Amino acid sequence: MRYPMHMIMTLDIPEALAAPLKRAEASLPRVLLEGFAVEAYRQGILSAAQVRVLMGHESRWETEDFLSAHDAWPGTTVKQVTEDGRQLSALLNA
């Protein structure tokens, strides 16, 4: 699916934070886009397929690798992962 229109976003950042951010200026737009994509996915705003389009990934697997590298698991909360780990540990120690 192709999305012909683009959205341009502007961020207002306090002057006190401008200096450290300027050092990362070349990668800052990509870092912000990645953070947005991951958080939108976690909140259910974007699907994995939409994240793929947004990030320009070539394959679904690249998107899955991207999301897993950012600890964004489909349909799984941190609480669920923690509980799964606790249960697994209990089984292994039983």
Could you tell me the residue ranges of all domains in the chain? 15-93
* Token pair belonging to 16: 């006190």
Segment holding 80, helix H or strand E: helix 78-93
For 10-32, what is each residue's pLDDT tens digit?
888 888 887 787 776 667 788 88
**Distance between first and last Cα of the chain:** 50
pLDDT at 5 over 70: no
**13 to 20, 21, 33, 56: CA distances (angstroms):** 11, 9, 16, 27
For 27-77, what is each residue's pLDDT tens digit?
778 888 999 999 999 988 999 999 999 999 999 999 999 999 998 876 666
pTM given for the model: 0.67
